[in-house]
Structure 1
Amino acid sequence: MTATAAPAHLATVVDEPVQWVGASAGSPRPAAPAPASVRHTPAWWRDTSGAALWALLLGVTALWVHGSGLQDVGTIAGFLTSFGRLTGLVASALLLVQVFLMARIPWFERAWGQDELVRSHRLIGFTSFNLMLAHIFLITLGYAAASKAGLWATIVDFTVNYPGMLLAIAGTLCLVMIVVTSIRAARARLRYESWHLIHLYGYLGAGLALPHQLWTGQEFLSSKAATIFWWSLYAVTLAAVLIWRVAVPLVRSRRAALHVVDVRAEAADVTTVTLQGRGSHRLKAQGGQFFNWRFQDGAGWTRANPYSLSAAPLDDTMRITVKHLGDGSARLAQLPIGTKAHIEGPYGRLHPGVRTRSKVLLLGAGIGITPLRAILESLPANVGQVTVVHRVSDRRETVLGSEIEQLTQERGGRYLVLDGHRIPGRDSWLPASVAALGDVEALRRLVPDVTEHDVFICGSGPWMAAAEKAVREAGVPQDAIHIEHFAY
């Protein structure tokens, strides 16, 4: 069943599922060569990387035991000091894992997606920070218990006389600043650019802690194996950051040579930017993924912003469609033609390569429809059943609507625009006009065989949470639900 241009109300649609509606906003994309083929992500990548993390923590614990960690617990002072060292070791390892996860290594990006990596990064970061505080507390109490000088004299002795301690204190203060600004209430008060700049101090915090650990850490120096292990861990993490966060983006940006060829207003607060280059096909991006973009148009160009592709990448062309949510996104409307772009990416797991089924459901809200539109274009014409659901507050906000309608028609799919305000007092993905329907009930009426679909979800955070909940409760298995949050 193809989409039609005749308007219809959701209440009518769910009662008579054959009536599907297109949209009239946006302008069709000119005909272009077929996008690059879909690259599927091996499932074993996730299992292997997860097992590597647990193996690392097991190795850290084994080195602690080998370094007489359990033999020193016979006294209160020994117990506190020994387990203080263990918490410090695990905290150090997790801090390096935290940095490693955000090094943008492509195998981890493709296996987990940026959304899961960010959540893991945040969880591991808070865990590492708490263990670091436990390390400081236990070590201080342990040394104080073994000394006649007392607690305060022990603290002063640590700070003044132990090699690297002043650097470690400075590093700890950097990490405290990062943790505080990572709390949700603090993040809500910060601009993305400010938050990103503050978090760069995480690298400084990790670096300042290194001398203290290597100069005074018993487990770092207890054996040649331990020394090699920890030096290698730091070296691998540093190499990953330098390669994938610095060298690779510089090389890719130079090879791709992307520059702006068109800037178009989709709405008063939405801009589409089209870029071309001599080698964008080498980036191996897929529809739905995102890049960190730096447009070299003047002051502030060094600040990167993540924008998803709104069209399937072609051999020499990429396109983004962005809603003006801050200074960085608003300035896109004023980009001069010819402006060069520095890129990092592609990132994210919201792309056709993660599909597990032939049928596809694309659930998008507002500007979140843009990566789904790119996914739709990347799907082969014989993909099977495709359904696109576009949730907007007002039908005039159906960004890229006519393009999506055209693509669904080409694939024999269905395109439905659900318009209207939110349901008051209820977390729902539906508009208020159908508040009598449950979220799961409406989903099953729209897509009766939803459990046979891969479901891609993108939109605002609360809306995605409600949509994901409905999809799960409708019986769609976890491996068929693909969602990516872009909140920092």
Structure 2
Amino acid sequence: MSATLAARIARPAVHAWWRDVAGLTAWLSVLFVAALWVSGRGLQDLGADFFTSTGRLTGLLSADLLLLQLLLMARIPWVERSYGQDELARRHRLVGFTSITLLAAHLMLITLGYAATDRSGVLAEAWALVTTYPGMLLAAAGTVALGLVAVTSVRAARRRLRYESWHLLHLYAYLGAALALPHQLWTGADFTASPVATAFWWTAYAAAAGAVLVFRVGRPVWLNARHRLVVEQVVPEGPGVVSVYLTGRWLEKLPVAAGQFFVWRFAGPGWSRGKPFSLSAAPDGQRLRITAKDLGEGSRRLATLRPGTPAWFEGPYGRLTANVRKGRKLALFASGIGITPLRALLEELPYRSGDAVLFLRTGRQADLLFRREIEDLAARRGVRIHYLLGRRSRDRASWLPAGYAPVPDEQVLRHLVLDIADHDVYVCGPDAWTAAVLDSARHAGVPGDRIHAERFAW
């Protein structure tokens, strides 16, 4: 890509302080909620009514974490570009499980506290709370919705669900948050005890709702209306692998970079089910290219798309871009379909001849994707390529073929790239393989801030 063309194409900006501000804001909200509990005689009431007082605290923290959970996945651009979708998803899962655990503790502790005060049985008190307190029936329904989200987020459950089904079930988190609001405002004394508390909670709910409406709904609607992407052509790349070329309006103004991905929907059967696919070529301001392997209904459908089919996209997402690069030299590690974002990076990133090396892993030579394109890039730009073909060792977690088994991975890496510690390492592939590469790079002396990976597992 020429320097002139690259200068005309919009690139997503990233500032280091965005991450710090986002993280600090989240922690301050938790501390502020605890301070509200203290100011409402939370500490003083511990001795007289331990269950009710701690129940108030767990309820407040659960509500705050629920809103943070929504914000983490609201696709706020500067947050997403600072953390990356994989890290946000991990934090979202951790915050979500913590929130639902605190919610369960809140329900149990409040019920025990009220039962002790009323001198009634626990089950009878729980029934009375749900059926007689304002907003509690809605809150109970919201708790069920949030519980459903939590149960389907467990790893064993995720393995049994299609991505589309899991994503649809996760929308119940919005319903759960909405149903909890009336209870908090009508019977939650800590939410309305002071003007400061009231202002905080209304602001927090407005921020979460606003972020979802603006970035999950408004921004995609605006970008799609502006760029109007359609399928230009579908090209087979190998067994069960196709590339889809898309064109549209003013693509030079779309803020996307090599290494990023979109969530795609195409008109026709199954249009409502979005699937994430990375760009497999550097954006040139004229068209976009995505490449996918037949791994399910969503990716299989790409092969049936016809030219002119309208496309709906959300994104771009991901931080596996030039913005995270620290030095001059590059080492790219790809396995299977993971070559797609790295092939785009190999095309777009600036580097001198001899300063880039690509490791390309696949089981069979026939499964190598973009081989001609990559070797052409290598010839023109001086990229060293190492093909890693054949089965991996079954005796240990390794990213190398079984033939390398007698030698530690990091030793092989240092042999193949003598100055690997001076390289920025980009990795994309299956989770276990990616973890093996990252471990090998660390042991070979690559600094942590030069190791860049983004996992796409959900």
Same fold (TM > 0.5): yes
Query: 1:34: how far off?
Result: 4.8
Equivalent of residue 63 in structure 1, options 32, 36, 52: 36
Match of 1:305 in 2: 275
Query: 1:474: how far off?
Result: 1.1
SS in 2 for 1:485: coil
Query: 1:382: how far off?
Result: 3.9
Q: Do the aligned residues in 2 keep the contact of 1:359 with 1:383 (CA within 8 Å)?
A: no
Match of 1:82 in 2: 53
Match of 1:260 in 2: 231
| Alpha carbons of structure 1 residues 364 and 274: separation in structure 2 relative to 1, 3 Å | same
2:153 corresponds to 1:153: no
In the alignment, the residues of structure 2 paired with residue 381 and residue 65 of structure 1 have an alpha-carbon distance, to the nearest angstrom, of 56
2:325 corresponds to 1:352: no
SS in 2 for 1:313: coil
One-letter identity of the residue aligned with 1:48: V
Question: 1:209-244 CA distances to partner (integer Å, 9 max, x unpaired)?
Answer: 111111111110110110110011000100000000
What is the 5 A alignment of 1:434-449?
434-449=404-419
Match of 1:270 in 2: 241
Match of 1:373 in 2: 343
Question: 1:420-466 CA distances to partner (integer Å, 9 max, x unpaired)?
Answer: 11111321100012212211111111111111111010001110111
Question: 1:376-412 CA distances to partner (integer Å, 9 max, x unpaired)?
Answer: 1111254871111101111111101221222233222
SS in 1 for 2:160: coil
Q: Do the aligned residues in 2 keep the contact of 1:358 with 1:383 (CA within 8 Å)?
A: no
2:96 corresponds to 1:136: no
Query: 1:353: how far off?
Result: 1.3
Name whichever of 409-418 and 240-249 sits farther off: 409-418
Q: Do the aligned residues in 2 keep the contact of 1:456 with 1:482 (CA within 8 Å)?
A: yes
Match of 1:193 in 2: 164
One-letter identity of the residue aligned with 2:433: W
- Cα RMSD of the aligned pairs, angstroms, is 1.6
Q: Do the aligned residues in 1 keep the contact of 2:142 with 2:175 (CA within 8 Å)?
A: yes
Give TM-score, length-normalised by structure 1: 0.91
Match of 1:224 in 2: 195
Q: Do the aligned residues in 1 keep the contact of 2:14 with 2:78 (CA within 8 Å)?
A: no
What is the 5 A alignment of 1:32-43?
34=6, 36=9, 41-43=14-16
2:93 corresponds to 1:127: no
| Alpha carbons of structure 1 residues 426 and 381: separation in structure 2 relative to 1, 3 Å | closer
Match of 2:82 in 1: 111
Q: Do the aligned residues in 2 keep the contact of 1:73 with 1:82 (CA within 8 Å)?
A: yes
SS in 2 for 1:338: coil
In the alignment, the residues of structure 1 paired with residue 10 and residue 423 of structure 2 have an alpha-carbon distance, to the nearest angstrom, of 21
Query: 1:149: how far off?
Result: 2.2
2:145 corresponds to 1:170: no
Match of 2:183 in 1: 212
Match of 1:363 in 2: 333
Q: Do the aligned residues in 2 keep the contact of 1:40 with 1:354 (CA within 8 Å)?
A: no
Equivalent of residue 49 in structure 1, options 14, 22, 33: 22
Q: Do the aligned residues in 2 keep the contact of 1:38 with 1:353 (CA within 8 Å)?
A: no
Question: 1:253-289 CA distances to partner (integer Å, 9 max, x unpaired)?
Answer: 1111111111011112111000011122222100010
Question: 1:151-184 CA distances to partner (integer Å, 9 max, x unpaired)?
Answer: 2221121011101111111111111111111111
Greater relative contact order, per chain length (Cα 8 Å cut-off, separation 6+): 1
Q: Do the aligned residues in 2 keep the contact of 1:38 with 1:352 (CA within 8 Å)?
A: no
In the alignment, the residues of structure 1 paired with residue 257 and residue 50 of structure 2 have an alpha-carbon distance, to the nearest angstrom, of 53
Q: Percent identity?
A: 53
One-letter identity of the residue aligned with 1:484: E
In the alignment, the residues of structure 2 paired with residue 42 and residue 404 of structure 1 have an alpha-carbon distance, to the nearest angstrom, of 31
In the alignment, the residues of structure 1 paired with residue 276 and residue 152 of structure 2 have an alpha-carbon distance, to the nearest angstrom, of 20
Aligned residues: 455
Q: Do the aligned residues in 1 keep the contact of 2:251 with 2:285 (CA within 8 Å)?
A: yes
Query: 1:97: how far off?
Result: 0.5
Query: 1:485: how far off?
Result: 0.8
- In the alignment, structure 2 segments of 5+ residues that lack a partner are none
One-letter identity of the residue aligned with 1:385: D
Equivalent of residue 234 in structure 1, options 205, 209, 217: 205
In the alignment, the residues of structure 2 paired with residue 246 and residue 37 of structure 1 have an alpha-carbon distance, to the nearest angstrom, of 22
One-letter identity of the residue aligned with 1:226: A
Give TM-score, length-normalised by structure 2: 0.97
Equivalent of residue 481 in structure 1, options 438, 448, 451: 451
In the alignment, the residues of structure 2 paired with residue 139 and residue 88 of structure 1 have an alpha-carbon distance, to the nearest angstrom, of 9
Match of 2:309 in 1: 339
Q: Do the aligned residues in 2 keep the contact of 1:41 with 1:110 (CA within 8 Å)?
A: yes
One-letter identity of the residue aligned with 1:47: D
2:437 corresponds to 1:467: yes
In the alignment, the residues of structure 2 paired with residue 382 and residue 437 of structure 1 have an alpha-carbon distance, to the nearest angstrom, of 31
In the alignment, the residues of structure 1 paired with residue 378 and residue 61 of structure 2 have an alpha-carbon distance, to the nearest angstrom, of 51
SS in 1 for 2:47: coil
Equivalent of residue 418 in structure 1, options 383, 388, 396: 388
One-letter identity of the residue aligned with 2:387: V
Match of 1:20 in 2: none
In the alignment, the residues of structure 2 paired with residue 177 and residue 240 of structure 1 have an alpha-carbon distance, to the nearest angstrom, of 23
One-letter identity of the residue aligned with 1:59: F
- In the alignment, structure 1 segments of 5+ residues that lack a partner are 1-28
